[in-house]
Each structure stands twice: as structure tokens, then as C-alpha cells.
């Protein structure tokens, strides 16, 4: 695994650093040598199982227009019907919506540090692991965490909103 400390973070990475500090999380983000725009790229760069990547998938809530953030294991697919059953009708989010609603570009969406609070769901698929990695506001930036921290940080209960890939 090739990582380095972040000497002068971008605004989006700094938001994540500040959010993590406010949550009492002691492990700061690190920069990967190669971009990790997908869960597989992140897993390969970190030398971990695909499921150990806590990917953040963003949808658009039809009624409110807010971002719906689903955090799940990298080896799972979001079950949009299961998500909609919990939060209401969804639409896929394009890159412009993701950036406007979260403050992050696709490939760097962190579970914390959003510019506007999303409607959040955390899938229980992450509980297979003691430690997972999440994007930290940039396609090269990631941070380690315990899966059980996510529901506390996001103020939600874990739920089942994914399925195995086909």
C-alpha cells in the first residue's frame, strides 16, 4: 500500500478532516499514490478486500430534492427498492447533483463532511469487517474507520439495503 500524509489538503478533504476531528476520530485521511475512483481501485491500492471499502453512493430524493447517501461494502450493490422503501422515491444522481448536494466529486464522496446533510443509510454489509476504508473528499484520499462508527456519526440505525452482485 502506497500512502502519504496530506500536507496541504483541498477544501473538500479539509472538510472531511474537520468533520472527523469533530467526531473524535483519531486516524486522519491519507493520500493514495493512484486515484481510487471505484471501490475496486481503492481496494487494490490499499491491499484489502473489496468489501472493506465503505463506498458512498448518492441518489436524489424525489420529494425533497435532497441527497440520499447509502454507505455500504464495496462488494455489494445498492438495492434501490430497499432504499426507496425506507426513504421514499429516488432518482439516480448525476455528477453535477452529487457535487452540488454533497460538496464532493464522484469518486471522492465521503460519508462525513457534506456541505448539506444528506438523508443517510448505512448498510449492515460492513459489519463483516473490523476495519474499513472510506473516501475522504478526493479520489486519492481515504481514511480508516470501524464500521460501527458510521451509524453513530450519521445518526442512523444500520439497515439492509444491498444485495450481492449478479
The answer to the question of residue 162 being in a domain is no
Are 109 and 94 in contact by the 8 Å Cβ rule? The answer is: no
Quick one: pLDDT at residue 162? 97
Q: Does 7 have pLDDT greater than 80?
A: no
CATH number of the domain where residue 42 is located: 3.90.960.10
Query: Beta strand 158-159 with 141-145: parallel, antiparallel or unpaired?
Result: unpaired
The cell for 155 is 445518526
- Does 9 fall in a domain? yes
CA 78-135-3 angle, to 5 degrees, is 135
Query: Looking at the predicted structure, is the pLDDT value of residue 25 above 90?
Result: yes
pLDDT surpasses 70 at 138: yes
Dump the DSSP string for 38-106: SHHHHHHHHT--GGGEEEEEEEEETTT--EEEEEEETTSEE-HHHHHHHH--EEEPPHHHHHHHHS--T
Q: Does 66 reside within a domain?
A: yes
Indicate if the pLDDT at residue 3 is higher than 70: no
Q: Per the structure, how many domains does the chain have?
A: 1
Please report the pLDDT score of residue 35 as a whole number. 79
Q: Is position 100 within any domain?
A: yes
Q: Which residue has the cell 449492515?
A: 124
As a whole number, mean pLDDT of residues 131-156 equals 96
Q: Is residue 8 part of a domain?
A: yes
Please report where in the chains the cell 473538500 appears, as a residue. 12
Question: Is 164 domain-assigned?
Answer: no
The confidence band for 154, taking pLDDT boundaries of 50, 70 and 90, is very high
d(Cα 134, Cα 62) in Å, to the nearest integer?
26
DSSP string, 129-161: -S-EEEE-SSTTEEEEE-TTHHHHHHT--EE--
Specify the pLDDT at position 165.
86
Q: The domain containing residue 56 runs over which residues?
A: 3-156
Residue 161 forms part of a structural domain: no
Cα four-point dihedral sign 165, 99, 147, 31: positive
Which pLDDT score is estimated for 10?
86
With a cut of 60, say whether residue 14 has pLDDT above it.
Answer: yes
Confidence of residue 116 (pLDDT cuts 50, 70, 90): very high
Does residue 61 fall inside a structural domain?
Answer: yes
What is residue 2's three-state secondary structure?
A: coil
From CA 87, how far away is CA 22, in angstroms rounded?
27
- pTM higher than 0.85 for the full model? yes
Amino acid at each position: 500500500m502506497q500512502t502519504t500524509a496530506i500536507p496541504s489538503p483541498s477544501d473538500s478533504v479539509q472538510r472531511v478532516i474537520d468533520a472527523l476531528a469533530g467526531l473524535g476520530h483519531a486516524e486522519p485521511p491519507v493520500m493514495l499514490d493512484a486515484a481510487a475512483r471505484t471501490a475496486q481501485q481503492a481496494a487494490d491500492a490499499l491491499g484489502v478486500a473489496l468489501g472493506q471499502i465503505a463506498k458512498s453512493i448518492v441518489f436524489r430524493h424525489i420529494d425533497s430534492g435532497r441527497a440520499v447517501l447509502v454507505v455500504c461494502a464495496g462488494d455489494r450493490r445498492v438495492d434501490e427498492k430497499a432504499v426507496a422503501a425506507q426513504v421514499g422515491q429516488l432518482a439516480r444522481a448525476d455528477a453535477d447533483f452529487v457535487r452540488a448536494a454533497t460538496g464532493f466529486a464522484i469518486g471522492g464522496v465521503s460519508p462525513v463532511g457534506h456541505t448539506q446533510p444528506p438523508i443517510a443509510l448505512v448498510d449492515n454489509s460492513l459489519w463483516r469487517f473490523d476495519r474499513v476504508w472510506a473516501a475522504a473528499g478526493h479520489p486519492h484520499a481515504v481514511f480508516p474507520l470501524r464500521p460501527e462508527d458510521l451509524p453513530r456519526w450519521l445518526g442512523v440505525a444500520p439497515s439492509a439495503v444491498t444485495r450481492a452482485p449478479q
